[in-house]
Amino acid sequence: MSLFISTAHAQDAGGAAPGFGFEPLIMLAVFGLIFYFLLYRPQAKRVKEHKNLVSSLAKGDEVLTQGGVVGKITKVADDKDFIEISLNETNSIMVQKSAVSAVLPKGTMKSL
């Protein structure tokens, strides 16, 4: 045996090679469950809530769009995907229904 290099010993040939177990499948299932509960399920819940919000829009509702515009709905087209929002007495805009992010309580525009 040298001072700086240790002597290498050959391993005894007696043990069998490890076989393919269920550990990788269990880990894959755990990662699948984590993905489902932390990513997919909350996003699906938000999409469902937004779909219900868009379908319940009616004339006279005060809404907030994704662009930050606050206005009152003056016209809802059921056959089309657009609504008309009145910003004040003289200005109105057309936006897609899906651009509405929240329905505000009545009287919010007057308090701003």
The 10s digit of each residue's pLDDT in 89-99 is 999 999 999 99
Give me the DSSP letters along 41-105: HHHHHHHHHHHHHHHT--TT-EEEETTS-EEEEEEE-SSSSEEEEESSSS-EEEEEGGGEEEEEP
Per-residue pLDDT of 34-77, as tens digits, reads: 999 999 999 999 999 999 999 999 999 999 999 999 999 999 98
* 34: containing domain: 24-56
* Residue 51: CA count within 13 A, CB half-sphere: 6
At 74, which CATH number?
2.30.30
Inside any domain, residue 6: no
Residues 31 and 63 placed together within one structural domain of the fold: no
More confident residue, 14 or 67: 67
Last residue within a domain, chosen from 16, 39, 56: 56
Given pLDDT bands bounded at 50, 70 and 90, which one contains residue 22? Answer: confident
Residues 73 and 95 placed together within one structural domain of the fold: yes
